[in-house]
Structure 1
Amino acid sequence: MAANNRRMSGKKGAQVGSGGQRRRGLEGKGPTPPAEMRKGHKKNRVATAKTKQTARRPAPKGRGGKSTSELVVGRNPVVEALREGVPATMLYVQQFIDNDERVREALQLVGERGGIHLMEAPRPELDRMTNGLNHQGLVLQIPPYEYAHPEDLAAAAYDAGQDPLIVVLDGVTDPRNLGAVVRSVSAFGGHGVVVPERRAAGMTAGAWKTSAGAAARTPVARATNLTRTLEAYKKAGIIVVGLAADGDGEIGDLEALEGPVVIVVGSEGKGLSRLVGETCDFRVRIPMPGGAESLNAGVAAGVVLYEAARRRA
């Protein structure tokens, strides 16, 4: 009996009770993760294999009316993109990720929206996909944007029995400005936005977020040659109006806004390019009694679109 007592005791004293281990074992561990994220599950093995293939495959090149796919990297950017309804096809989640509030919200938003696949991936694979950026274990894949053709915007307006109201951006490189213009076009009854194919902002995740959902209902077209596109609009009977600080008149005096019109907005710094400016039927300015030298593209487009909508009403 004494021997048994010696075996059951030690320098640290005999263990009494479970020390709270049983209570901790009964505590909840949150919702069950999706099958794609459960190690050993068949869907997890398939997802991991697909992730490796995607990470090693070169990025697709844009052809025709499509842009290339985009990756949103980092916990805050991913959550913000999901909150704003930016279209997405895949959410990559790092294996053994530190599950904080942002990760939980990202998974919840993906589950609520549907149509977005979840893939768990080792950190080295995500590092390769993002070229070493600080992804923090979350990477969201944005599908290529389906650009319209510039002629489609005018055709859709005429089909609806309306005069086209289109905004063309010349040399605008900030996606947030593009998103703001798309939002204004949607708000004031416009029929779309045209951007150049090169050296210009495209419909990235940043543009989608700034548009506040308007990009889902307002088409954006891409032009290979902006001057030729404007000439085609003119041949179709549409007046082309360019905004310029040294314009010949003020936007409030332009009766052309009441009919089919294309409004061309240049960059805040350089304004309209020479060839585009020469192609315009009218070059007008926005009066600014406060003394500001210029407005950014998003604000300038909003002012002119409001004036056009007021006249058409």
Structure 2
Amino acid sequence: MKNNNQSEFIIGRHPVISALRGKQEINKVFLQTGIRKDEKSVEEIIKLAKKKRLVISTVPKQKLDLLSDNQNHQGVVLSISPYKYATVDELFENAEAKQEAPFFLILDNIEDPHNLGSIIRTADAAGVSGVIIPKHRAVGLTSTVAKTSAGAIERIPVARVTNLMNTINELKDRGVWVFGTDMKGTDYRRWDAKGPVAVIIGNEGKGISPLLKKNVDEMLTIPMVGNLQSLNASVAASLLMYQAFNSRNPL
């Protein structure tokens, strides 16, 4: 969520603590009037804010309701500068720092911020090296995404690129095997994700765009036996990420 000064807001105690521990540029901390400052999470927020020499403002609940668009802020809101995106090079550097083969998630026009936040949260848990999203016709890193990611937005680098096709070609040139998702393809349970890999998750309604489909190295499919033949984007992404995790980290 942005205001006229191009600020955004992080809401909720756990996301706020994660942001304060991270490198995100923070403008101000808002605490609700009357909040118990002896509660462990609130004590931690105040301690971290003071360490960063941030301004802490005590404001009425109505002010926080306004800043958070009436979401569950738990009595605390951070005013931050808009999120800084990583570069594709930095995604590779993140994998190298962890001494792992790159494992990237490419999101083709995901529009729901809750889906993006949930995907980033799972990506953090599953050891993804970085997430790639397009600049246009897709949701970016917002306060809702941050809230839904439960702080993972501070740990998973997200690159925002002008042209997904050009980026996919760059990944291929750098030795990354690119997988897509569709109704027809290799059963995802047979996917061996060892080595440098990237998997594309399509738009919630339209799936992967035709141009991207034509340029993947292999298509994966999630078998379904019910009447509905599609899954929520974040659920599909989670299944694929953990299949990759299983093949990269065998028992």
- The correspondence of residues 201-216 of structure 1 with structure 2, limited to 5 A, is 201-216=139-154
* Whole-Å separation in 2 of the counterparts to 1:252 and 1:303: 9
Contact 2:14 2:150 in 1 (8 A): no
Q: Does residue 82 of structure 1 match 2:7?
A: no
Q: Could you state the TM-score of these two structures normalised by the residue count of structure 1?
A: 0.63
1:16 counterpart residue number: none
* Correspondence 1:286 to 2:226: no
Cα offset, 1:166, TM superposition: 0.7
Q: In structure 2, what is the Cα distance between the partners aligned to 1:308 and 1:208? A: 24
**Amino acid paired to 2:90:** D
Query: How far apart in 2 are the matches of 1:272 and 1:168?
Result: 10
**Within 5 A, what are the aligned runs for 1:1-313?**
59-60=5-6, 69-71=7-9, 78=11, 81-84=12-15, 85=17, 87=19, 88-91=26-29, 99=33, 101=35, 110-114=45-49, 115=52, 116-119=54-57, 140-245=78-183, 247-255=184-192, 257-313=193-249
Secondary structure of the 2:201 match is: strand
Query: CA–CA distance in 2 between the matches of 1:220 and 1:230?
Result: 15
Q: Kindly indicate whether the alpha-carbon contact (under 8 Å) linking 1:83 and 1:109 is maintained by their aligned counterparts in 2.
A: no
Secondary structure (helix, strand or coil) at the match of 2:128 reads coil
Alpha-carbon deviations, 1:34-81, whole Å to 9, x = none? Answer: xxxxxxxxxxxxxxxxxxxxxxx9535xxxxxxxx3146xxxxx4xx2
Residue 299 of structure 1 and its aligned partner are, at CA, apart by 1.1
Unmatched 5+ stretches in structure 2: 20-25
Tell me how far 1:151 sits from its aligned partner: 2.7
Tell me the distance in 2 between the aligned counterparts of 1:161 and 1:90.
36
C-alpha distance in 2, partners of 1:100/1:216? Answer: 29
SS at match of 1:244: strand
Residue aligned with 1:269, SS: coil
Instruction: Give distance in 1, aligned partners of 2:77 and 2:149.
Output: 22
> Per the alignment, in what secondary structure is the counterpart of residue 228 of structure 1?
helix
Normalising by structure 2, we get a TM-score of 0.77
Distance 2:95 2:35 in 1: 45
Secondary structure at the counterpart of residue 89 of structure 1: strand
Give the equivalent residue in structure 2 for 1:53. Answer: none
Q: Which deviates more, 139-148 or 229-238?
A: 139-148
- Give the whole-Å Cα distance in 2 for the aligned partners of 1:119 and 1:141: 11
Number of residue equivalences: 230
Structure 1 unaligned segments of length 5 or more: list them.
1-56, 61-68, 73-77
Distance 1:58 1:248 in 2: 46
**Structure with greater contact order relative to length (CA < 8 Å, sep ≥ 6):** 2
Query: Greater strand share, 1 or 2?
Result: 2
Q: Supply the AA of the counterpart residue of 1:271.
A: G
What amino acid maps onto 2:132 in structure 1? V
Quick one: distance in 1 between partners of 2:9 and 2:35?
Answer: 21
- Larger gyration radius, structure 1 or structure 2: 1
- Root-mean-square deviation over aligned CA pairs: 3.3
Shift of the 250–100 alpha-carbon distance from structure 1 to 2, 3 Å rule, reads same
Equivalent AA in structure 2 for residue 59 of structure 1: N
CA distance in 1: counterparts of 2:94 and 2:85, whole angstroms = 14
Instruction: Give 1:171's aligned amino acid.
Output: N
Pick closer, same or farther for the CA change 1:159–1:112 going to 2, 3 Å.
Answer: closer
Give the drift of 1:294: 1.3
Distance 1:86 1:175 in 2: 19
Is this contact kept in 1: 2:13–2:42, CA < 8 A? no
1:160, CA displacement in angstroms?
3.9
Task: Quote the residue 2:23 is aligned against.
Answer: none
Report the 3-state secondary structure (helix = DSSP H, G, I; strand = E; otherwise coil) of the residue aligned with 1:248: strand
Contact preservation (8 Å) 2:121, 2:153: yes
Asked whether the equivalents of residues 267 and 296 of structure 1 are also in contact (C-alpha less than 8 Å), the reply is no
* Distance change >3 Å, CA 83–CA 262, structure 1 → 2: closer
Give 1:216 shift. Answer: 1.9
